[in-house]
Structure 1
Amino acid sequence: MDDIDDMFSHLLGEMDHLSQSLMPAADPPDVVPASQRESTFSIGFTDLNASLYELEDNDLDALVADLRSKSTENTSGSQNQIAASAVTEEPGPAQIPPPSNAAESSEELQMDESQTKADKIKLALEKLKEAKMKKLIVKVLMSDGSCKTLMVDERQTIREVLDKLFEKTHCDCSIDWSLCETNPELQIERGFEDHENLVEPLSVWSRHSENKIYFVLRPQKYVMFTDPQLFYMWKKKTVCSSEINEQSKQLLLKEHFGGSALIVPDLEGSLYLKEDGKKVWKPRYFVLRASGMYYVPKGKTKSSSDLACFVRFEQVNIYTTTNYKQRYRAPTNFCFMLKHPCIQKESHYIKFLCCDDEHTLLLWANSIRIAKYGTVLYKNYQAAKTRASSLETLHCTARNGKFHSHSTVFTGRSTNHVEDHPHESPPDFIPPPPPPGHAQV
């Protein structure tokens, strides 16, 4: 009983410290320092000016137009004199000087284009300071080492950002494409869920954070829906994926996700838990419930009355890890972490767990996602399938249209060529190159 009292007191103390550390300051400053304010505008760049320069011209034009409209809305209730002065300060088409002559050199043209973009960036910087809506310029890394620069605001979901990337990269629009955040300091990564707003998790990154965002394929993203038998029939070890037909899979999905209440996988088993502040891992028997993870205390049974709460999922996210066998002497490298998203450095509030093999890690990581997000995850999956199907149809139509257009031009040109030069053979047909980014992503 003394040990239980000590453990309970220690737990209360930890909860109190954690709540205090996560509480906002009592008197937040009214004016955010310029250095901090600027850091919220771009992710993956040294400064805001550099991130704006990396934006494509159409994205930069859209940003300026959006900020102008917001500025107009914000000043609509002001005095006419103030509104008039604001309008006169904005450069209009009449203020752009006409070209001096038609024979202007290419060097001067490049300077004019550069100056135009510089003017747009200057205007965007001014409007960003006035805008109330939080916006981020984000550098998204690709698997081949290239990157794409996007402007996102606090309203945009991961699903919308993925659609933007589909347009920019012309990839296959698979439901497995994901946006992932990585934290090199903790050696962890997490795939964002499609319903999340991208700006929210990025806003907790520190100013000099080395965290990055990747656009990658993650086949395990919706494995709980493509292969539900792995999670809801895991106790039947003789069942293989090949033995389950599509109709049986649909019945499992309807049974566990189609009702009024979500049914969480009845998952339990032994995992290794890292002790706080030590490179020591001890086995514990864990049980998954809709409200969180529970463990069996020493000397107790697996009955619900004996289970002790290990962690609840409301305030934590699940992250997969790399190389913890070397870093923390974990029994295997198949580890995962549970932590609050605001914790960006090593802390004793982080829960480290280790699995025996990759399959066990797959079961626990995705079952925890089901318990945390519930039916929202299934809606994400359905929306992703619908969107992928529609985008693929559009891309196929566009490709067929381009091919037809090129074929028509070739036929006409080759005919004229033969008529004008009957002794020459028509040139070989060179098909149009694939859309940019298709092969790299």
Structure 2
Amino acid sequence: MMEVAGPWTEVFEDSSLGGDDMLTLAAEVLPDPPSVRRSQPVRIASNRMRGGDPFSSVPSIPNPFPELCSPSKSSALIGSLPQPPSDKYLIRVYGEDVNCKSVWVGRRATARDVCHMLVQTAHCVDQENWALLEHHPTLALERCLEDHEVVLEVQGTWSPKNNTRFVFCKNYAKYEFFRNPTLFFPESMISDSADIGKELTSSELIQNLLRSGTCPEIQGFLHVKESSRKAWKKVYFFLRRSGLYSSTKGSSKEPRHLQLVADLDDLNVYSVVNSRKLYGAPADFTFCIKPPRNPTRVQDLKLLCADSEQTRTCWTSAFRLFKYGKQLQCNYQLSQSAPRSPEGCSLSYRLSKSEDTLVAMDFSGKAGGRVIQNPTEAESAEREEGRAWRRREALRCSLPNVNSAARPSSVHSSQPWFHGGTSRKEAERLIEKQGLVDGMFLIRDSQQHEQCFVLTLCFQLKSKHYLVIPCEKAGRKYFTIDDGVTLFIDLLQLVDFHQINQGILPVCLKHPCVCVAL
């Protein structure tokens, strides 16, 4: 047995020790054990300000469930969100689908600024003819914002009860009345009191007034919806700089028969979507004038209906010119002076832009080319060029390396002008929404004829539809819109050809109807 003396006493038994032999060790004989160095708390100098966030030194952790907590009570969520720029405000802009995009804009950002920003972020092909649309789904109203309008001021007039939104889309007709005023302002609708110079014709008067940023007085019959009834009444209206007037006695212009309907300074003009079904309008050419603030009742809207699209376009264009005047002309000039980006344009876009610069040339002589001045000779040269083009295409398609596998029939499905199973009514609505200008087009599947397509083209403020029929020749499949006179191996070739050659169409294809998803 072994006993160790010290602060404690322990006895060890050892079989190697015989009998009662005992080994005693004094505690002081052994040296003191070395002191153990244990970890001590380290004081960290705090550089936090009094009352600061206790988690400010902790790295921000994204919150996996942001919908379960409020940003005002969750420091983790606050740290994971991007901080808003100074003097910036967040707005939501929808594409022509259900998707939307949040954009930071300045306090004085205009519709033009927002469109330029969205063109860059959405990687749009061209930089022109984009617009912001103010859409009221509840009231079925929409209007194109002017380029100079401040976006936040427009949004501030919206009622929280209505699901009003901004829509980013094409609008080719925003300033079309500056380019073709006689189409937008027919002589029959110009008031006699606007003839300030008897030696001027109506067309010259319109040109002079548009150059100065004004508009002639407009007159004509419109259907107006009575506020307390569902019936529509036909009334004669006058649109002047001082406001919109209605005649209480036929088409009389005497001051005692004129009644003020609205003051243009406090009103905006909207087009009405599906007015026949929603408001019982006698025609689809309905527009509305209302104050910027959303009315609480439908009865507060002033609904007007025209007999044709040209009449409605004339009234709405005159409203804009009377309200904004010279500012619209400045916006138009600014849009014309904006820098172009030809490197981002597609081939079809460049062809449509260069169409107005094409002239008929004759290279048959030995002295070089000459410009054909005679219109009859130029038309004959165009027909001859078309026949030569068809002969070249027929020879190219007869080559052995050209087959259906090399040019698939579904190659058109990826083109921006192809809209698949869009109905006739929806196609007309798309073209109307993006601007009724000559040459605007789209191609869609035919709903009445199997394996056929329909070319929808805008001409003189109307939508025309042309059936694209598939046919076979020499065992090959072609497409035609002129009963086989001109054959195309696919829809891309058809579009490329009619962007330069008019053919049986009233106008060449210029502006594709494009829907952009943000």
- Using the size of structure 1 for normalisation, the TM-score is 0.55
CA contact (8 A) 1:186 1:346 kept: no
For 1:68, the equivalent position in structure 2 comes to: none
Q: Structure 2: which amino acid aligns with 1:256?
A: L
Could you list the per-position Cα deviations for residues 260-302 of structure 1 after superposition, in whole angstroms to 9, with x for gaps in the alignment? xx43133211001111121111100111111221121126722
Q: Output the CA distance in 2 between the equivalents of 1:116 and 1:315.
A: 47
SS for the counterpart of 1:353 is strand
1:338 pairs with 253, 274, 289, which one? 289
Q: Distance in 2 between matches of 1:355 and 1:254?
A: 24
Contact 1:271-1:354 within 8 A present in 2 as well: yes
Residue among 50, 73, 79 paired with 1:119 = 79
Q: Which has the larger radius of gyration?
A: 2
Classify the secondary structure of the residue corresponding to 1:383. helix
Shift of 1:370: 0.8
1:350 Cα deviation (Å)?
Answer: 2.0
* Contact 1:270 1:283 (8 Å CA) reproduced: yes
Match of 2:278 among 304, 316, 327: 327
Match of 1:219 in 2: 172
**Residue of structure 1 in register with 2:321 after alignment:** 370
What is the aligned counterpart of 1:149 among 91, 95, 102? 102
- 377-386 or 309-318: which moved more? 377-386
The secondary structure found in structure 2 opposite 1:235 is helix
Out of 332, 336, 341, the position equivalent to 1:392 is 341
- 1:77-96: per-residue Cα shift (whole Å, max 9, x none)? xxxxxxx959987999xx57
For residues 160 and 262 of structure 2, the distance between their equivalents in structure 1, rounded to whole angstroms, comes to 29
1:186/1:345 contact within 8 Å kept? no
Q: Which residue of 2 aligns with 1:229?
A: 182
The corresponding residue for 1:172 is 125
Contact in 1 for aligned 2:63/2:76 (Cα 8 Å):
no
Q: Is 1:204 aligned to 2:178, yes or no?
A: no
Say if 1:311 and 1:121 are closer, same or farther in 2 by CA, change over 3 A: same
Structure 2 CA distance for partners of 1:235 and 1:251, relative to 1, 3 Å: closer
Deviation at 1:204, TM superposition (A): 2.4
Q: Which residue type is aligned with residue 219 of structure 2?
A: E
Letter in 2 for 1:214: V
CA distance in 2, matches of 1:323, 1:162: 27
Structure (1 or 2) with the greater strand fraction = 2
CA distance in 2, matches of 1:217, 1:208: 28
The alpha-carbon distance between structure 1 residues 331 and 139, as it changes in their structure 2 partners (threshold 3 A), is: same
3-state SS in 2 of match to 1:368? helix
Deviations 1:289-321 (A, max 9, x none): 112211211267224564322211111111110
The aligned amino acid for 2:140 is Q
User: Counterpart in 2 of 1:302?
Assistant: 253
What value does the CA root-mean-square deviation take over the aligned residues?
A: 3.9
- Alpha-carbon displacement from aligned partner over 1:383-403 (angstroms, at most 9, x marks no partner): 12222xx1525746xxxxxxx
Matched, 1:191 2:140: no
CA contact (8 A) 1:274 1:353 kept: yes
CA contact (8 A) 2:189 2:218 kept: no
Q: Is the 8 A contact 2:178 2:210 kept in 1?
A: no
From 217, 233, 254, the equivalent of 1:282 is 233
**Letter paired with 1:185:** T
How far is the alpha carbon of 1:154 from its aligned partner?
A: 2.3
| Unmatched runs of 5 consecutive residues or more in structure 1 | 1-83, 99-107, 238-247, 397-433
Deviation of 1:144 after TM superposition, in Å, equals 4.3
1:176 positional shift: 2.5
Establish whether residue 318 from structure 1 lines up as the match of residue 278 from structure 2. no
Q: Aligned letter for 1:278?
A: R
Provide, for residues 214-264 of structure 1, a one-character-per-residue CA deviation record: whole Å limited to 9, x for no partner: 111123221211212224453399xxxxxxxxxx9x9878622434xx431
**Contact 1:292 1:311 survives alignment (8 Å):** yes
1:193 alignment partner AA: E
Distance 1:189 1:374 in 2: 21
What displacement does 1:189 show? 0.8
Q: 1:171 to 1:297 in 2, by over 3 A?
A: same
Aligned pairs (5 A) from 1:1-20: none
From the superposition, tell whether residues 235 and 109 of structure 1 become closer, same or farther in structure 2 (CA, over 3 Å): closer
2:218 alignment partner, one of 267, 270, 275: 267
2:341 aligned counterpart, secondary structure: helix
Native 8 Å contact 2:228 2:299 kept in 1: yes
Matches within 5 A, 1:55-94: none
Give the Cα separation in 2 of the matches to 1:207 and 1:121: 25
Aligned residues: 283
Structure with greater helix share of residues: 1
CA-CA distance at 1:377 after TM superposition: 0.9
Say whether the 8 Å CA contact 2:159–2:294 is kept in structure 1. Answer: no
What is the alpha-carbon distance in structure 1 between the residues aligned to residue 186 and residue 120 of structure 2? 39
**How far, CA to CA, are the matches of 1:381 and 1:346 in structure 2?**
35
> With structure 2 as the length reference, what TM-score do the two structures score?
0.48
Identity %: 29
Q: Is the 8 A contact 1:231 1:265 kept in 2?
A: no
Which SS does the other structure have where 1:314 is aligned? helix
